[in-house]
Chain A
Amino acid sequence: MSVVGERLQPTIFELSRPGRGGGKIPHPPKDALDRIPASARRATPAALPELSEPEVTRHYVNLSQLNYSVDTGFYPLGSCTMKYNPKINEWAARLPGFAGLHPMAPDAVAQGTLQLLHELEGMLAEISGMDAVTLQPAAGAHGELTGILMIRAYHRSRGDVDRDEVLVPDSSHGTNPATATMAGFRTITIPSASDGGVDIDAFKAALGPRTAAIMITNPSTLGLFERRIGELLEATHAAGALAYMDGANLNAILGHFRPGAAGFDVMHFNVHKTFSTPHGGGGPGAGPVGVRAHLVPFLPAPRVIREDDGSYRLERPGERPASIGRMRSFFGSTGVLVRAYAYIRAHGGSGLREVSDDAVLAANYLKVRLRDTYQVPFDRPCKHEFVASAADIKHRTGVRTLDIAKRLIDKGYHPPTIYFPLTVEEGMLIEPTETESLETLDAFADALIEIAHEADADPDLVKSAPHLAPVKRLDEATAARQPNLRWRGMTGAQMPCPD
């Protein structure tokens, strides 16, 4: 039986019949739009589907069941921290006082939310060892852009205008180099060292008067802590450059390593990873950014200010003239931040350290369980995730990591991240998180070991997986060559409006 529902669904456009649905909104007076000139009006109604509410409900319930999710099973997607999403967080974000607050509401009306946001800034600063935090960025990549623009503004403010390079390791997330480009920098890619870490010596050699920043993910995307990070940070600062930490892997080091205290100048948080806010099928997230004191003037506007009388307010326009400006409209993804706040409060400082302890323990346990069957390229403790390689299996049987991933679906699991980072041949990046039981970890390890045996005994079984999913592997080439990106069958509402 498939781990997800098996019944594919018609589109809402195919379900539509003229005259269905309606009755949600009272009809406006017939002349409501008479004062709008015809030239500004829509000539033909938009081709939206007409559905009854029972059909809408069934459609979205049935569609949802075609998804694998954390609430339905183990989702060890490396680099994404697919931990359990606590239900109180969903409840909290929906409280009418939070959900109903207009983003342009005067400060006096918004004291509860402003207090929460100000406290959250303080908590994130404490966790990261940074001096200040902006909550504005909407996602990790948005946080990266915010951070790199602040670094750019910092150098320029010192008349240091020739720094046009950003150094990133080849194992970095693709967002790092893409961010550097968006901020007008040239990316210099540094190859990894043989121990899986950043090649500290290559980085040091590449540092120079043109280096604006280095961007480091620590622990790395291989799940390894950079042991010589202190040395690299010193060299970076000696070269007049700043150090950016991609906080995607913060779940490994809560209460163990504070990047700001260690010498990083800027970092972003992925609250949808570390702080349990749901991933939503691709988003929303939030990507707060922490900075050391020398970058505070450049933080995006507005920040939340706590007045001496204990009240809170947003910064006024122009209050901090060196600010890089706005990264988006309004304050930020406040509903996501409410969830992160609840999560941090539920754990406290000691609980957050236990989160990392258990996440790292689970990853090392899985690694040990798998190391006789798969190659585990780096012989040292990992942090919250590790890379297992199926290179031997591929050479022996022709079964690739992609096939193993698809076969895992048959066994009831979401596959790990595959072929990332690219530095490991046939790699699988496995991140169990701290919220999975020992039984789940064991069953997953058993499944991966069983697949390795299947690869020897019946490679075609694995190569043709998944067998127990609503669809088989997809024709991605045709999808890209002849893109069909929208339904073209609807020609507009068929019935005249009932009023």
Chain B
Amino acid sequence: MPYGPHAADDRARMLETIGIDSVDALFDDIPEALRAGPLALDEPEPELELSVRLQALAGRNRTDLASFLGAGAYRHWTPAVVDQMLLRGEWYTAYTPYQPEVSQGTLQSIYEYQSLLAALTGLDVVSASHYDGGAATAEAALMTCRATRRDRILVSRAVHPHYRETLETYAEGAGLAAEEIPLVAEGPLAGTTDLTALERLLADPERPVAGVVAAQPNVLGLLEDMGEIGRLAHGAGALFVSVIEPVSLAVLAPPGEYGADIAAGEGQPLGIPLGYGGPYLGIVACSDALIRQIPGRLVGMTTDQDGRRAFVMTMRAREQDIRREKAASNICTNQALLALAASIYLSAIGPHGLRDVAATGASRAADLEAALAGAGAPRLHGAPYLNELVVRVPDARAVHARLLERGILAGIPTADLLPDEPALADGLLVCATEVTTGAEIDRFAAALRAELAGMPVAGGAA
């Protein structure tokens, strides 16, 4: 056994103390008919061979492409100090701080995380973390139902489809109704949430709405009129959930400022690797009024018996280990280490650095827009965007596949992302961040120009 601690005679000494001859005696309580035979798994692999195997598998993934892919997960540069700190065993091999006297590091780091995200969102209460942006959005929607004692949720079609699907799974289980708010199909506001439709959906007196869920920026990269969505929701007695992207909050109005009651979102952009989907960081924040409804752990500042400042998990009567079937959620294990990563990232990059990250992404995206327009793929929408945009490309799926052969990961075809939107049949959702280079943009534009001109791929994959 590779990590076993026992010297040659240790097991024998332990067996002797117990008073048995063989460890098998300790498994006598498993009924004979139900005992397992040998597991049909490969032989144990020595670390040297295992490391070769893992390297080979990692090498089968292609991360050498010029990538313009975003859609809910974003390439960012992370200062080296973040991972150096995360690699300390005192962080990653500890567990939930049930014993606060020997867990002040984790507890203070969570308190600091809550404070940092409160500053970014402009809201009062931030949970210690949730699984990811999708589950966080679903839990936020459930919060609106508990708080209003209503059972109908309206979610914009411009919320990430994975989040909507997760929300629907959770709502179905809880016996709640989740309905979609359509998008504006054409005109200057095309691609944003249809506020007229929202007003109509909110107006049904027989079916009062618990919560309205919309994203800023939305999944097409567009900026929504969040203030107006909030006003409409509140006018109907509903709560307003804003789905946020945290880096953008360095430059965009925070949810607390435009009247959101809850913010939910994906914290991955804050120093967390893409890692094919996780582990990520679900953000849930809310106003003080909703503090009893927020799921997951909360850490508060207090004092010890000698009056020293200290931190502790608090308001635990919401949680499953205390309240069991009456808990606000079943969440137990969360994403504490990723919340720590976000905190270290924010501490290292600072307020001006975060603004620079967001603004540089916006600047590179404008360069990308110009370059792709020059290559024959103009922007599809008219509403303002931050760093992600849709360009019009006829037969986008096929072009996307062929650009891959040219070494370009050309975002995602909008027809794959939102298949039920005819207006998005011919689009690519592309993204730029501070790590996108001018050279990559030039390569993309050149490859697209060649593709649209029907030129063959020269020399195979880049």
Contacts and interface: CB of A to CB of B under 8 A. Distances in A.
Interface in A47-74: 47-51, 53, 56-57, 59-61, 63-72
Interface string B272-302: 0111111110000000000100000111111
Contacts of A22: 350, 352-353
B30 A257 contact: yes
6 closest Cβ pairs, A-B complex: A71-B89, A97-B58, A330-B277, A112-B60, A280-B337, A349-B39
Contacts of B321: 173-175, 420
B223 interface: yes
Give the contact-size bracket for chain B.
35 or more
Interface in B329-343: 329-338, 340, 343
A32 B36 contact: no
Contact of A99 (B67, B274, B314): B274
13 contacts: A46-B119, A59-B347, A63-B108, A66-B104, A99-B273, A112-B60, A113-B276, A138-B132, A329-B266, A380-B29, A417-B98, A474-B303, A480-B314
Q: What is the interface of chain A mostly: helix, strand, loop, or mixed?
A: loop
Contact of A65 (B73, B105, B227, B331): B105
A299 interface: no
A138 B131 contact: yes
Interface stretch (A282-290, A391-399, A451-459): A282-290
Given A435-B4, A472-B101, A328 B131 contact: yes
A61 B109 CA distance: 11
Give the contact-size bracket for chain A: 35 or more
Interface stretch (B8-16, B182-190, B203-211): B8-16
Interface stretch (B40-48, B194-202, B234-242, B452-460): B40-48
Given A129-B36, A152-B173, A493-B352, A333 B101 contact: no
B195 to A, nearest CB: 15
Given A174-B321, A480-B314, A141 B333 contact: yes
A82 interface: yes
A470 B319 CA distance: 27
Given A145-B173, A475-B304, A56 B94 contact: no
A159 interface: no
Contacts of A138: 131-132, 135, 278-279, 335
Interface stretch (A2-10, A199-207, A237-245): A2-10
A36 B111 contact: no
Nearest to A261: B36
Given A112-B60, A360-B26, A483 B300 contact: yes
Given A328-B135, A435-B5, A230 B174 contact: no
B169 A327 contact: yes
A498 interface: yes
Contacts of B334: 139, 282-284
A357 B24 CA distance: 8
B331 A141 contact: yes
B374 interface: no
B373 interface: no
A365 B126 contact: no
Nearest to A493: B351
Contact of A414 (B102, B250, B302, B352): B102
A66 B105 contact: yes
Interface string B123-147: 0111011011111000000000000
A400 interface: no
A13 B115 contact: yes
A225 B30 contact: yes
A369 B104 CA distance: 32
Given A11-B108, A105-B69, 16 more contacts: A9-B108, A26-B356, A28-B359, A35-B362, A67-B90, A109-B404, A111-B61, A152-B173, A279-B94, A279-B96, A283-B129, A332-B277, A333-B280, A361-B26, A479-B301, A483-B300
B439 interface: no
A346 B96 CA distance: 27
A9 B111 CA distance: 13
B14 A361 contact: yes
Given A3-B102, A360-B27, A475 B14 contact: no
A224 B353 CA distance: 54
Contact of A483 (B131, B314, B404): B314
B63 A100 contact: yes
Contacts of B124: 485-486
Contacts of A475: 302-305
A71 B88 CA distance: 9
A129 B166 CA distance: 28
B348 A69 contact: no
A194 interface: no
A10 B66 CA distance: 42
B44 A350 contact: yes
Contacts of B42: 345, 348-349
A474 B85 CA distance: 27
A30 B307 CA distance: 49
